Amino acid sequence: MSYANDMPTMTKTAALASELRMSVMRLTRRLRFERPDIGLSLTQLSALGTIDRHGPMTPREVADHERVRPPSMTRVLAVLEERGVIVRIAHPSDGRQQLVSLAPAGLDLLREDRRRREAWLAQRLAELTPEERAVLHAALPIIDRITQTT
């Protein structure tokens, strides 16, 4: 747009925010479509991924990472345990608590989910020019910084 250079900075920032939000939403929707049907909700998969990334943790810690209330996470973890994708283990220093950890089936499930979505994305990235891939690579630290919560 030729008038973009004449726009006030805040308006340009708002326009960029809108375009970025829409692009990220479309990418997220497309990656979600590539998920194999494994019978878990996005909330359950997210909790599973959190446990994978951070290792064994208390249910409250999982809830904190997922930004949900502990009673909600209790229900999510119950389903995951019933499905055999997590296990409860004794807390090493607090006998009143338990930790949740990935079961081998949970790790297998996550690996397949990631493999399938990353294969689709890698194929799409291979269709780009080297210059386009370099731009995306350079943008990754910026996107990561934006997503950090304070």
The tens place of each residue's pLDDT in the chain, 150 residues long, gives: 455 555 566 688 999 999 999 999 999 999 988 887 778 888 999 999 999 999 999 999 999 999 999 999 999 999 999 999 999 999 888 888 899 999 999 999 999 989 999 999 999 999 999 999 999 999 999 999 998 865
In the DSSP assignment, the letter for residue 57 is B
Q: Where are the domains of the chain?
A: 1-33, 40-147
Written as one letter, the residue type at 13 is: T
Cα–Cα distance measured from residue 117 to residue 9, given in angstroms and rounded to the nearest whole number: 36
Q: Which CATH number fits domain 40-147: 3.40.50.2300, 3.40.50.2000, 3.90.1640.10, 1.10.10.10?
A: 1.10.10.10
Closest CA to 33 of 115, 111, 116, 106: 116
